[in-house]
Amino acid sequence: MKMENMSLSGLDNTKLEALAQDIYSDLVEDACLGLCFEVHRAVKQGYFFLDDTDQESMKDFEIVDQPGVDIFGQVYNQWKNKECVCPNCNRSIAASRFAPHLEKCLGMGRNSSRIANRRIASSNNTNNKSESDQEDNDDVNDNDWSYGSEKKAKKRKSDKNPNSPRRSKSLKHKNGELSSSVNTDPYKYNYNTGINYETLGPDELRSLLTTQCGVISEHTKKMCTRSQRCPQHTDQQRRAVRVFLLGLSATSLPDSNTAVESDGYDASDGQVLMSRLQWDGSSDISPSDSASSKASTNNSDSKKPKKKKKTSLNSTGGGGGGSGSVGGSSSQGCLAGQANRKKPKLPVPPAPSIYDNLN
Amino acid sequence: MNVVSVMSPAGCSHVNAYKVDNWRPNLRVIYQCFVWSGSAETRRRKAKSCICHMCGAHLNRLHSCLYCVFFGCFTKKHIHEHAKNKRHNLAIDLLYGGIYCFVCQDYIYDKDMEQIAKEEQRKAWKLQGVGEKYSTWEPTKRELDLLRHNPKRRKMTTNCTIGLRGLINLGNTCFMNCIVQALTHTPLLRDFFLSDRHKCEMQSNSCLVCEMSQLFQEFYSGHRSPHIPFRLLHLVWTHARHLAGYEQQDAHEFLIAALDVLHRHCKGDTTNDNGKKANNPNHCNCIIDQIFTGGLQSDVTCQVCHGVSTTIDPFWDISLDLPGSSTPFWPLSPGGDGGTVNGESHLSGATTLTDCLRRFTRPEHLGSSAKIKCGGCHSYQESTKQLTMKKLPIVACFHLKRFEHSAKLRRKITTYVSFPLELDMTPFMASRWASTNYLPPGLYVLVRYALFAVVNHQGTLESGHYTSFIRQHKDQWFKCDDAIITKASIKDVLDSEGYLLFYHKQFLEYE
């Protein structure tokens, strides 16, 4: 087909059809040729055979879809006698009992000897009550009742997900009942000593708010002295009281997430006000702190163990600071840490490429 | 076509006569001008000058002589004539760039020449604005040798059980088993581990990523008996102590903890393009981050001056409140305003996943008790807050908050929430288009997600059992109940209650 300059106008339909047909068949031919080259190359380079399988043995792997058997054609519930070797003690354990065994083996269980040893060791401790009774484990860890007391000797049970289908602890009910009675009759409830915020200076307030709930009761005008996870008040309330009492000093709110500045970098503000994390690489937030997963309605349990701020992305609990941590907000906000705001505008994080080094 | 024997190379010795002097740049020029014409100018030149010198044909598998300026068509054997007459025994196909040797009478594949061809092709694509194109995997010589010596091969056809395996319950560990099933059926994660891309840097034997890799080996081994994930349990309890303890646990909590540990242990794999290690541990590019990490944008708007303060936080999952919880659910009426957007079933006003997402991304008035200090107004003002997706992860995990654990209530919310097989995330994105329903053409395609795993919980808050549905081979679903894997229908999946929903982006873009 010789190439020549042709004007398409003035051609009747049949000629146009013929042209189109020609072009189409050329394209198809080229495509077929391309495929031929691919196969030719695969054969010549020696990788054409890679697709081959042993047909007979492949039959062994066909999916079975019959009642009473699984996809491998096996009857259910024949796996009762599986065993495994515990990596900790090297004993052979029945697989279905491995989890309870491992718990004891690692000394994490309720009845493990480690707990018992600790019990013995702490029998001379002044804090006798907290250690000696397993049943009060939760109560102790919550430590809701004492003003300024140290948080969480054991983090395990107290880091529960408020949204998890855990077995209920009767103590939790107790806490709930007690707290709900506070509002009606604050003076009967002698654990709530109640702090009058007006008498405290900013430093005292700041340190107080790192360990306590601090929400100001409308009845008594006093600050709640329970833990930062106290179920009576919401995270939103806790945040609000901090903002109210301390302005926007970031250090008072290890996990607060209220963004406060309007857009526009206020460079003249020497202090970092309510710093938020920039997700441009300098973030301290671990996605495991994702507030959407922590957002709760009334319970602000933080489930992550507290770690130092300087560690990597997984620094949970929003970084060090308070021993208690204000969990997610009731409005599903994000947790903030304590990084500095670097830029006024947030850069778009680059989409990572999975196929970067693939070939 | 006979299968060429193993010993003869794909190239030929006749190219050696060509590979002298300045052959490389010469060959480049031929590729640039006559084969992969990248620029408009070269395309025009090719169209005009590339015709058979003997018959004027423009197509007919035109070839160019490598030794001189001669174009001849292959079909009419005009290039063959030229080769014989001039003893120029190499020619190049102008359509696909293949090199033909007239002595061997076949197309040959020379490594050096192919290298040049590939480079020039890439350059041309760039010029044409095509960008990168996917090229299939080719085994190296060593890999070919290995494969030849090990001919026993398993091919994953649509009717194949390979990739599916049961998991023994180690004592209330169904929550872990479900998450393992979801992770082992995450396509990108599977590809990462099966292509052996984890380089372990941990000294001890306690790397969770290595254990994950081992898990994939177990799943693809073809074994039919269920796997006993005791090592996995031990490792997770060692590295996420807050989870340890034999009692019923939450699958969602386990997922986050597992991702966290995997992410921490991925250090050896986080290198950027220069091969240097990423210095900043917070800006990780490990496979977990690449697949699961999204960005959640939070905009707080001052009600007085309307200044907006924006922050973005990373997330691995989105937890959604449900109707029936003690939070006020929504002002949106279920089924109202475009409720069939994602083709979800609307059984007389059933809540949909889209409804939950809409509620999640609605502007929320923060109230007078939570005034914020506005930098614009320099005083405390009321504000509204809105969450949107700034960066969508490749795998989006939605967590329906069915377990309520407040001081007053402890219960499981069993409200049926209908979720779709395919999800369009556009309305929930942090772009100015989200609210106006206008989308530039092409953008729609980028945000479609496909369901591939569902984790369900049966029972009460105090005691229950987790099972999962996972997808294999496009539209085949399987139910995973610890050690028992059975085939499931799409209807089974969509009718289930849903606790954790895993969606995978349908189209991936190159960076």
pLDDT at B14: 87
Q: State how far the Cα of B451 lies from the Cα of A207, in Å rounded to an integer.
A: 48
In the block, tokens 């480690």 appear at A114
Torsions phi, psi of B264, nearest 5? Answer: -65, -35
Over 90: is that where the pLDDT of B432 sits? no
Q: Is the pLDDT of residue A238 over 60?
A: yes
Q: Give strand pairing partners of A69.
A: A75
B508 belongs to a structural domain: no
> Stretch B59-73: mean pLDDT, rounded?
91
> ipTM surpassing 0.90, yes or no?
no
Q: Which two tokens stand for residue B231?
A: 């090592």
Q: How confident is the model at residue B451 (pLDDT cuts 50, 70, 90)?
A: very high
Split at pLDDT 50, 70, 90, the class of A304 is very low
What's the one-letter identity of residue B254?
Answer: F
Interface of A with B in 99-118 (CB under 8 A): 99-100, 102-103, 106, 108-109
Contact between A34 and B96 using a beta-carbon 8 Å cutoff: yes
Q: Are B297 and A345 in contact (CB under 8 A)?
A: no
The verdict on a CB contact (< 8 Å) between A330 and B327 is yes
Nearest CA in chain A to B238: A106
Write out pLDDT tens, residues A320-340: 333 333 333 333 333 333 334
- Band of pLDDT at residue A240, cut at 50, 70 and 90: confident
Domain annotation covers residue B241 = yes
- B181 lies in the same domain as B243: yes
pLDDT of residue B440: 56
* Residues from chain B contacting residue A103 (CB–CB below 8 Å): 244-246
Do the beta carbons of residue B505 and residue B392 sit within 8 Å?
yes
Q: Do the Cβ atoms of A279 and B314 come within 8 Å?
A: yes
Q: Which of A260, A222, A216, A276 is nearest to A241 (CA)?
A: A216
Amino acid at B401: K
With 70 as the cut, is the pLDDT of residue A273 above it?
Answer: no
The DSSP-derived string for B171-230 is SS-HHHHHHHHHHHT-HHHHHHHHTT------SSS--HHHHHHHHHHHHTS---SPB-TH
In this structure, what are the phi and psi dihedrals at residue B397, rounded to the nearest 5 degrees? -110, 125
Percent of chain B topping pLDDT 90: 45
pLDDT: is A359 or B349 the higher one? B349
pLDDT of residue B510: 59
User: Does residue B76 sit within a domain?
Assistant: yes
Nearest Cα to Cα of residue A334 among B364, B312, B190: B312
Choose the catalytic residue: B65, B101, B174, B286.
Answer: B174
Q: How many angstroms separate the CA atoms of B429 and B94, rounded?
A: 46
Would you state the pLDDT for residue B175? Answer: 94
Q: Indicate the domain borders of chain A.
A: 13-62, 83-119, 202-251
| The domain boundary residue, chosen from B267, B292, B321 | B267
CA–CA gap between residue A214 and residue A202 (Å, rounded): 14
Q: Does the annotation mark B68 as catalytic?
A: no
Q: How confident is the model at residue A315, as a pLDDT?
A: 36
Residue whose structure tokens are 């369900």: B456
Give the closest residue to A349 by CA, choosing from B49, B330, B268, B391: B391
B250 interface with A at CB cutoff 8 Å: yes
Per-residue confidence (pLDDT) for residue B495, from 0 to 100: 94
Helix (H) or strand (E) holding B92: strand B90-93
Is 70 exceeded by the pLDDT of residue A180? no
Total domains, chain B:
2
Q: What is the DSSP letter of A44?
A: H
Q: How many angstroms away from the CA of B334 is the closest CA of chain A?
A: 20
- CA B117, CA B120: separation in Å to the nearest integer? 5
Asked, for residue B65, whether it belongs to a domain, the answer is yes
pLDDT of residue A341: 42
Residue of A103, A229, A297 to mutate when probing chain B, most B C-beta within 10 A: A297
Q: B339 lies in a domain? A: no
Check residue B325 and give its pLDDT: 73
State the amino acid at position B485 in one-letter form.
I
Which structure tokens are listed for B389? 């997706």
CA distances from A65 to A227, B317, B470 (A): 55, 34, 16
Q: Which residues contact A131 (CB under 8 A, 6 or more apart)?
A: A118, A119, A122, A123, A125, A140
- The pLDDT tens digits of the residues spanning B492-506 come to 999 999 999 999 998
Any domain includes B239: yes
DSSP codes joined into one string, A209-260: HHHS--PBPTTT--B--S-TT-TTS-HHHHHHHHHHHHTTBGGG-TT-----
Residue B81 has pLDDT above 70, yes or no: yes
> Three-state DSSP class for A117?
helix
Between CA B323 and CA B229 the distance in angstroms is: 36
Confidence of residue A147 (pLDDT cuts 50, 70, 90): very low
Q: Which domain holds residue B80?
A: 13-128
Q: Which residues of B touch A24 (CB under 8 A)?
A: none
Q: What CATH code is carried by the domain that includes residue B81?
A: 3.30.40.10
pLDDT digits (tens, 9 = 90+) for B305-362: 888 888 999 999 999 998 877 776 654 444 444 444 455 544 456 789 999 998 899 8
Q: Does B174 participate in catalysis according to the annotation?
A: yes
Min mean pLDDT across B118-122, B198-202, B269-273 is at B269-273
Residue B451: what are its φ and ψ, rounded to 5°?
-70, 135
Contact B370 A243 (CB under 8 A): yes
Predicted confidence (pLDDT) at residue B256 exceeds the cutoff of 80: yes
B330 or B34: which carries more pLDDT confidence? Answer: B34
Q: Which amino acid is at A272?
A: V
d(CA B360, CA A332): 8
Whether residue B396 contacts residue B503, with contact meaning beta carbons closer than 8 Å, is answered with yes
Rounded CA gap, A285 and A316, in Å? 7
Q: Are strands B417-418 and B351-352 parallel, antiparallel or unpaired?
A: parallel
d(CA B428, CA B354): 9
Residues on chain B touching A310 (C-beta within 8 angstroms): none
Q: Does B222 touch chain A (CB under 8 A)?
A: yes
CA distance A24 to chain B (A): 13
